[in-house]
């Protein structure tokens, strides 16, 4: 569901967030309109508004874990976790975490990969939010959900700054909250 469909229709913060995201054509491969959130991070107001909207949504949901997907989920996840009183758990690419890990493979829109998490980072029964910057096909979010559920977490929702609603198809009914739709026009 888009934020505009959930009480934020007409909220000027959403327009500011959307405008702050740079669109880069044909990156990383031809045909992809890359939604570059690094320009959002340069805009203090848009960045703060992004975090504030997520915090307002999740503050009273009893979430004890915010799991951020490498790398851009690490940008938003820790701030959200601190504000709602939850711990932050990084979901990393292969061979980035020391110690014992559990992993989950997935298919990307242009390749394959794996997510890893420390064994013991999640306790059975914890309520989790999965955060990333973007959802396209839902493959990465789906792998994150499977990984957390294998450790006994209850995944409450997945959240992304920008995304396509089609990304929810691979989430097996898990709710997906998206702030803004991808823009197709280039801005530099």
Kindly state the tokens that stand for 117.
């998490």
Whether 109 is catalytic: yes
Kindly state the tokens that stand for 36.
């570059």
**CB-count exposure of residue 118 (10 Å: 0-12, 13-18, 19+):** middle
| Residues 105 and 135: beta-carbon distance below 8 Å | no
Instruction: Find the catalytic residue in 5, 9, 59, 109.
Output: 109
Beta strands in the chain (DSSP E): 22-25, 33-36, 65-69, 87-91, 101-108, 111-118, 127-135, 154-163, 176-180
Whether 169 is catalytic: no
Instruction: Find the catalytic residue in 57, 72, 92, 170.
Output: 72
Closest CA to 39 of 68, 19, 13: 19
Peptide bond before 7: cis, by omega within 30 degrees of 0?
Answer: no
First to last CA, the chain: 28
Which are the catalytic amino acids?
72, 109
């Amino acid at each position: 569901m888009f934020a505009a469909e959930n009480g934020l229709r007409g909220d000027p913060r959403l327009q500011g967030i959307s405008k702050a995201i740079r669109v880069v054509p044909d990156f990383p491969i031809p045909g992809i309109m890359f939604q570059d959130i690094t320009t959002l991070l340069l805009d203090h107001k848009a960045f703060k508004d992004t975090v504030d909207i997520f915090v307002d949504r999740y503050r009273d949901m009893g979430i004890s874990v915010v799991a951020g997907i490498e790398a851009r989920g690490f940008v938003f996840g820790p701030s959200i976790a601190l504000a709602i009183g939850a711990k932050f758990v990084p979901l990393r690419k292969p061979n980035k975490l020391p110690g014992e890990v559990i992993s989950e493979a997935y298919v990307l829109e242009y390749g394959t990969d794996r997510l890893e998490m420390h064994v013991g980072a999640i306790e059975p029964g914890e309520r989790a939010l999965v955060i990333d910057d973007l959802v396209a096909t839902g493959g990465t979010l789906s792998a994150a959900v499977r990984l957390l559920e294998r450790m006994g977490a209850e995944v409450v929702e997945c959240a992304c700054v920008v995304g396509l609603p089609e990304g929810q198809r691979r989430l097996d009914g898990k709710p997906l909250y998206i702030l803004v739709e991808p823009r197709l026009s280039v801005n530099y």
